[in-house]
Amino acid sequence: MENIKKLSPVVFKARPVKTEVRDNQTVVLEYVGEELGPYLTDLSHKIRWDVQDSNLDAIKPWGIAIPETPGLSVLENGFLINRMNRTQASVWHLAGEKPDDPDDSAYTETTDATMFVALTGRETFAIAEKLTSLDFAVPDKKAPFLLQGPIAHVPCQIVTLAQNGEHCGLLFTCSRGYAQSMIGAILEAGEEFGLRPAGETAFNKFLTQ
């Protein structure tokens, strides 16, 4: 079982120039033509969990407090933690060494059941406006923050990761079965802005800006 090759639900029609095999899955670090943005990056290999408990406030994933208010998120030590409702949160590991699996029945890993992508660059919100009526650039909310709703009519969790001029970014995840339809819709919406696939390295640079 350990040698079974894993495949991302996301497929781009672009040529990789740098890749890395990680946990039996090929991760694209860079594609041809990444000189200009905005970018769409497949992060489906990043490990993610759903956390549910009647006493959610007592749970601290990797020592990080879950935000008390639904819709709030916290980015700390490479983990993005999103409060969904009174009893549920999501945890997305974005950077650093792969963490050990939590030994707690409150956690359910969702990595293989979902797709996960980042949309980054100056035109991020203009592209998103063509796909949904959700407002990701709310002026009275400080990024990161969570919204739950449809992207291209597909239920998603979406986090506004940054909303500062050219440094704008969204993360969103949905059921794996919608992956290619979603990717097609996003790339079509971003065509006029020059949206193109980018590898993990471009996202890592964005994350550290």
Residues 6+ apart with CB under 8 A from 150: 132, 134, 156
Q: What is the mean pLDDT of residues 84-99?
A: 96
CA 81 – CA 60 distance, rounded (Å): 10
Residue 44, classed as helix, strand or coil, is: coil
Structure tokens that stand for 145 in this block? 């923050």
> Among candidates 90, 71, 69, which has minimal Cα distance to 81?
90
CA 188 – CA 77 distance, rounded (Å): 34
Strands 196-198 and 39-42: parallel
CA 4 – CA 162 distance, rounded (Å): 36
155 burial level (CB within 10 Å; 0-12, 13-18, 19+): exposed
- In this prediction, residue 37 carries a pLDDT of 82
Question: Could you tell me how many residues make up the chain?
Answer: 209
Q: What is the mean pLDDT of residues 21-40?
A: 92
- For residues 50 and 107, the answer to whether their CB atoms sit within 8 Å is yes
Predicted TM-score (pTM) of the model is 0.94
* 185 Rama class: left (phi>0) / alpha (psi -120 to 50) / beta: alpha
Inform me whether the pLDDT recorded for 86 exceeds 80: yes
Band of residue 185 on the pLDDT scale cut at 50, 70, 90: very high
DSSP character string of 133-168: S--S--TTSPSSEEEEEEETTEEEEEEEEEEETTEE
Inform me whether the pLDDT recorded for 1 exceeds 60: no
Q: Residues 127-168: pLDDT tens digits?
A: 999 999 999 987 788 999 999 999 999 999 999 999 987 899
Q: Which domains does the chain have, with CATH numbers?
A: 1-209 (3.30.1360.120)
Q: Outline where DSSP puts E strands in 53-193.
A: 73-76, 79-83, 88-93, 107-109, 114-120, 145-151, 154-164, 167-175
The count of other CB atoms within 10 Å of the CB of residue 44 is 22
**Helix (H) or strand (E) run with residue 209 in it:** none
Band of residue 15 on the pLDDT scale cut at 50, 70, 90: very high
- In this prediction, residue 125 carries a pLDDT of 95
